[in-house]
Structure 1
Amino acid sequence: MGIFKENPFGHILFLKKWLIRLIGIVTHSRYKRFNSLEIEGSDIIRSLPERNVLFVSNHQTYFADVVAMFHVFNASLKGRDNSIKNVGYIWNPKLNMYYVAAAETMKKSLLTKIFAYAGSVSVERTWRAEGKDINRQVKMSDISSIGKALNDGWVITFPQGTTTPWKPLRKGTAHIIKKYKPVVVPVVIDGFRRSFDKKGLRIKKKGILQSIVIKEPLDIDYENESFDAIIEKLEYAIEQHPSFLKVISKKDLLAYEEENELRRFRNRHKI
Structure 2
Amino acid sequence: MGLFKRNPFGHILFIKKWVIRIIGSLSHRRFRGFNELQIEGSEIIKSLPDKNVLFISNHQTYFADVVAMFHVFNASLSNREDNIKNIGYLWNPKLNIYYVAAKETMKSGLLPKILAYAGSISIERTWRSKGEDVNRQVKMSDISNIKKALDDGWVITFPQGTTTPFKPIRKGTAHIIKHYKPVVVPIVIDGFRRSFDKKGLRVKKKNILQTFEIKEPLEIDYENESIAEIVEKIEYAIEQHPSFLKVIPREEIEAQEELNKLRKWRLEDDY
Give the TM-score range, shorter chain: over 0.9
SS of equivalent to 2:211: strand
Deviations 1:26-74 (CA, angstroms, capped at 9, x unpaired): 0000000000100001100000000000000000000000000000000
For structure 2, the residue ranges without an aligned partner over 5 or more in a row are none
1:97 aligns with 2:84: no
Deviation at 1:251, TM superposition (A): 2.9
Partner of 2:115: 115
| Runs of 4+ with deviation above 3 angstroms | 267-271
User: Equivalences for 1:135-146 in 2 at 5 Å?
Assistant: 135-146=135-146
SS of equivalent to 1:224: coil
Partner of 1:18: 18
Letter in 1 for 2:29: S
Partner of 2:164: 164
SS of equivalent to 2:50: coil
Give the structure-2-normalised TM-score: 0.98
For structure 1, the residue ranges without an aligned partner over 5 or more in a row are none
Deviation at 1:110, TM superposition (A): 1.1
Partner of 1:209: 209
Q: Judge which range, 235-244 or 259-268, deviates more.
A: 259-268
Partner of 2:56: 56
Deviations 1:51-100 (CA, angstroms, capped at 9, x unpaired): 00000000000000000000000000000000000011010000000000
Deviations 1:109-141 (CA, angstroms, capped at 9, x unpaired): 111010001110000000100111101111111
SS of equivalent to 2:147: helix
Partner of 1:9: 9
Whole-angstrom CA distance in 2 between matches of 1:54 and 1:250: 30
Q: Percent identity?
A: 73
Letter in 2 for 1:188: V
Deviation at 1:249, TM superposition (A): 1.4
Partner of 2:193: 193
Deviations 1:144-185 (CA, angstroms, capped at 9, x unpaired): 000000000000000100000000010000111011100000
Give the structure-1-normalised TM-score: 0.98
SS of equivalent to 2:160: coil
SS of equivalent to 1:108: coil
Deviation at 1:6, TM superposition (A): 0.2
SS of equivalent to 1:197: coil
Count of matched residue positions in the alignment of Structure 1 and Structure 2: 271
Whole-angstrom CA distance in 2 between matches of 1:165 and 1:110: 28
Letter in 2 for 1:24: G
Partner of 2:183: 183
Whole-angstrom CA distance in 2 between matches of 1:254 and 1:52: 37
Deviation at 1:270, TM superposition (A): 4.3
SS of equivalent to 1:54: strand
Q: Judge which range, 199-208 or 257-266, deviates more.
A: 257-266
Partner of 1:235: 235
1:30 aligns with 2:33: no
Whole-angstrom CA distance in 1 between matches of 2:268 and 2:133: 15
